[in-house]
Structure 1
Amino acid sequence: MADHRRLGRELELFDTDPLIGAGLPYWLPDGAAVRHALEEYVREAERRAGYRHVYSPVLGKRELYEISGHWSHYSEDMFPPMEVGGEEFVLRPSLCPHHAVMFRSRAHSYRELPLRMAELGGMFRSELSGVLGGLTRVRAIQLNDAHIFCTLDQVAEEAAAALELIRRAHAAMGIVPVRHRLSLPGPGGKYVAAPEKWERSIALLREVLDASGLDYEEAEGEAAFYGPKIDVQVADPAGRESTLSTVQIDFHQPERFDLKYIGPDGAKHRPVMIHRSVVGSVERAVAHLVEHHAGAFPGWLAPVQLAVLPVSDAESGAAARLVERCAALGLRAEAAGPGDGTLGARIRAARLVPYQVVIGAREAAAGQLSVRLRDGRRLDPLPEGELLDRIAGLVAAHSTELWD
């Protein structure tokens, strides 16, 4: 059974050290390459969908989270305040209060809405040591987050568009959700006391899910403290579920931060805030990808996309030139020469690399390349330029296929 903690270390994707601390993994070069490819994909998908990207600090004054409601409803999961210059600062547990303040900092007209604000940003959770594990439960999280500020009439369309972004991302990642969940509030004082707002936001999310044609289940006690959400659930090889992607409707924070826009009537109106995450936290997304693909990532995500294998030292120069050409095309390639073992041993070592390019004397002279695909197929020799252009095209398209 694939376990991302074991595979992640074997494949040298990430590791931990007691000196850094539990729940604080560091990313090695191959893991960083996977993470970077995923982040690039998400940023570009969001840009094409009309999002504008921002940066915000990972710290905020305690007062910020008192206004947002995090301090009263979520403080047990937050790191304790740090006193600096007589003021208390907190490592943020969420990005939404910062984005609400950013929206509030400028005047907005209804003509600007929906305003889609996205960020790949750090946040922190004070998880107990006993629940920490690999990349799935960590204390420092890089979240693919976004907040859409819109009119009430725009909510259903924007939430549906967010679900479509999620669907396309999962298809590119080669993963299939096990279910969609409408997460509702449960009993107790965990949730904001605003029955009318809850009823309205739940009705809107039901409308979106029903219109999408997706099967879904309702689960009490799984909502965010400020509103209900659609959770897109995935499962690990042992069948344990976790939430990867979310869409949430929030009437609470726009009111708490007194957010406004000028309507067509010239009066001030309150926007609705949609929270959505296409791939969730980068850590959890990569953990799921490692286990789902057992390290054999889709070509666009693979840490090394081409393994260049010269048969003898005489072809080492040609191999080095090919690696350079790959880099110029944005492809990740590495050469492994005879000093790294026999050709058979090098092919076995590169078993998870999507494309294995063998360069012998004949290929070097003819300017053609002999290619093995990770799934065992061997292609007829191809001119170097044609081969690289086809691989680069599949990578650029975020295809899950190795060849077309």
Structure 2
Amino acid sequence: MQDHRRLGRELELFGTDPLLGAGLPYWQPDGAVVRHALEEYVREAEVRAGYRHVYSPVLGKRELYELSGHWAHYREDMFPPMDLGGEQVVLRPSLCPHHALIYRSRARSYRGLPLRIAELGGMYRAEPSGVLGGLTRVRAIQLNDAHIFCTPDQVADEARSALEMIRAAYAALGIEAARYRLSLPGDGGKYVAAPELWRRSAELLREVLEASGLPYEAAPGEAAFYGPKIDVQIADGAGRESTLSTVQIDFHQPEQFGLEYIGADGAKHRPVMVHRSVIGSVERAMAQLIEVHEGAFPAWLAPVQLIVFPVSEAESGAAAEVARQAACLGLRAEVAVDGSLGARIRAARLVPYQLVLGPREAAAGEVALRLRDGRRIDPQPVEKVFARLGFLIGERNVELWAAETVVPPRYT
């Protein structure tokens, strides 16, 4: 596993500039393609799971974060307030207060619960310069965040479903969890003082972990200020751990914001808030993907999914037409014409699918498919190849190809 900072520069995925400042990376075109594919995967998975997507502003009045508890318990990690028109506004350190406001924007009934609100939104942390590093610790964060507002008897199922979404995403991304952690409160005053709520939340999360059959470790002192959480830990090439995904049960903020729903008995009840992030911050998820795959991303994430190699100049027109057809079907395709065939293949070593188009294939309307791992597939009609690639990529499969007839190399 290689350092994502070096690979990111070499592969022109992301970069930094002193004029932007520390902890504020920018994305190059290829990196932006991977990031977009990752974001679309999460959005689609959330839609299938019954989430509704929202947008909320990255600024809020200081009073908002005083109400949520962030100002009292998290202020050192927030950027200073800005004076604006006689008010103080703050770059948000979290999305949950905004989603609480969306929930309370109208009356709610138990019939509409669980309400699953998701957003891929920006948040900001005033990280000290000494802890910043590549994409793993940044100051401007794009967070895959969601909040589920539910009745008490729905909490365990919602938390369990969130954990299943996380595990499915890791399988599609080709990454593994280093361990699962039950993060509990420790000593000190950084936690909300509500012992009974903490006990109930921790018991529910233990039940979820045990029902999922996952080994886990309790970690006192690692909880959020408002409640315990399940943290899915990942490790980089140096063995350093960080949290990528989380599931949290929160009784505190529904109380703070006065959230209610009308129950079957016609009375007002307090919902429970489940915080859930499938891939955590996009930046940290990208860092892990870069290191684990060393730039050879699963085909559905690759910046260029298909590259066409005309054997000679005579096939250039046919190669351009093949690439055009691929692009029309939604594949990210390019044509490589400069240099010898061998040199072009070596330069495109990270591209999952490589189509070699010689005079015989051009005349027959076929292509010889070369996989990134060196396998060659028998020449096949272009339409058949594209149908297969479209299926594999559409399924977000980590496998390059299913069992097919593989022939010895014809080109070197």
Is the pair's TM-score, using the shorter chain for normalization, greater than 0.5?
Answer: yes
What do residues 128-187 of structure 1 show as CA deviations (whole Å, max 9, x unaligned)?
111111111111110000000000000000000001101110000011111110000000
The yes-or-no answer on 1:89 pairing with 2:83 is no
Q: Provide the rounded CA distance (Å) in 2 between the counterparts of 1:141 and 1:327.
A: 31
Tell me, what secondary structure is at the counterpart of 2:230?
Answer: strand
Matches within 5 A, 1:351-370: 351-370=349-368
- CA apart distance, 1:335: 1.1
SS in 1 for 2:117: strand
Q: Which residue of 2 aligns with 1:401?
A: 399
Question: 1:134, 1:181 → 2: CA distance?
Answer: 24
Aligned amino acid, residue 155 of structure 1: V
Letter in 2 for 1:173: L
Q: Return the alpha-carbon distance in structure 2 between the equivalents of residues 255 and 2 of structure 1.
A: 45
1:201 maps to which residue?
201
| Aligned amino acid, residue 151 of structure 2 | T
The one-letter amino acid of 2:37's match is: A
Corresponding position: 1:131 with 2:121: no
Which residue does the alignment assign to 1:120? 120
Kindly provide the CA deviation profile for residues 292-336 of structure 1, in whole angstroms up to 9, marking residues without a partner as x.
111111111111111111122222211221222111111111111
Q: Secondary structure at the match of 2:31?
A: helix
Q: Distance in 1 between matches of 2:199 and 2:399?
A: 44
Alignment-derived partner of residue 178 in structure 1: 178
Q: Which residue of 1 aligns with 2:389?
A: 391
Structure-1-length-normalised TM-score: 0.98
Q: CA–CA distance in 2 between the matches of 1:173 and 1:85?
A: 46
Q: 1:348 aligns with which of 334, 346, 356?
A: 346
- The residue number in structure 2 matching 1:336 is 336
Find the counterpart in structure 2 of residue 298 from structure 1: 298
Cα displacement string for residues 224-249 of structure 1 (whole angstroms, at most 9, x for unaligned residues): 00000001111112111111110000
Structure 2: which amino acid aligns with 1:292?
Answer: V
Greater shift, 323-332 or 64-73, is seen at 323-332
Q: Is the counterpart of residue 226 in structure 1 residue 226 in structure 2?
A: yes
CA distance in 2, matches of 1:278, 1:190: 26
- Tell me how far apart the structure 2 counterparts of residues 263 and 250 of structure 1 sit (CA, whole Å): 19
Encode CA deviations 1:179-213: one digit per residue, 9 max, x unaligned: 11000000001111111110010011011111111
Does structure 1 residue 242 correspond to structure 2 residue 242? yes
C-alpha distance in structure 2 between counterparts of 1:265 and 1:48, whole Å? 31
* Uncovered stretches (5+) of structure 2, i.e. residues with no partner: 403-412
2:259 maps to: 259
> What's the secondary structure of 2:237's corresponding residue?
coil
Q: Distance in 2 between matches of 1:85 and 1:304?
A: 48
Aligned-residue offset at 1:89: 0.6
Other-structure match for 1:9: 9
Supply the distance in 1 between the matched residues of 2:373 and 2:73 (Cα, whole angstroms).
50
State the one-letter code of the partner of 1:90.
V
State the alpha-carbon separation in 1 of the partners of residues 134 and 390 from structure 2: 32
Q: What letter is aligned with 2:333?
A: A
The structure 1 segments of at least 4 consecutive aligned residues displaced by more than 3 Å after TM superposition are none
Q: CA deviation at 1:39?
A: 0.6
**1:102 Cα shift?**
0.5
CA distance in 1, matches of 2:130, 2:325: 47
1:218 and 1:326 map into 2 onto residues whose CA distance is 50
Question: Structure 1: which 5+ residue stretches go unaligned?
Answer: none
Question: Could you tell me how far apart the structure 2 residues matched to 1:334 and 1:130 are?
Answer: 41
1:2 aligned counterpart, secondary structure: coil
Residues 260-298 of structure 1: CA deviation (Å, up to 9, x unaligned) = 000011111000000000011110001000001111111
Aligned match of 2:370: 372
Moved more, 237-246 or 68-77: 237-246
Determine if the alignment matches structure 1 residue 75 to structure 2 residue 75: yes
Quick one: which of 380, 383, 386 aligns to 1:382? 380
Note if 1:168 corresponds to 2:172. Answer: no
Q: Distance in 2 between matches of 1:318 and 1:134?
A: 42
SS, match of residue 175 in structure 1: coil
CA distance in 2, matches of 1:215, 1:187: 25
Structure 2 Cα separation of the partners of residues 370 and 357 of structure 1? 6
TM-score, normalisation: structure 2: 0.97
Partner letter of residue 382 of structure 1?
Q
Counting aligned pairs with the same residue, the percent is 76
Q: Distance in 1 between matches of 2:323 and 2:107?
A: 51
Separation (CA, whole Å) in 1 of partners of 2:335 and 2:221: 52
The number of equivalent residue pairs is 402
Match of 1:56 in 2: 56
RMSD after superposition? 0.8
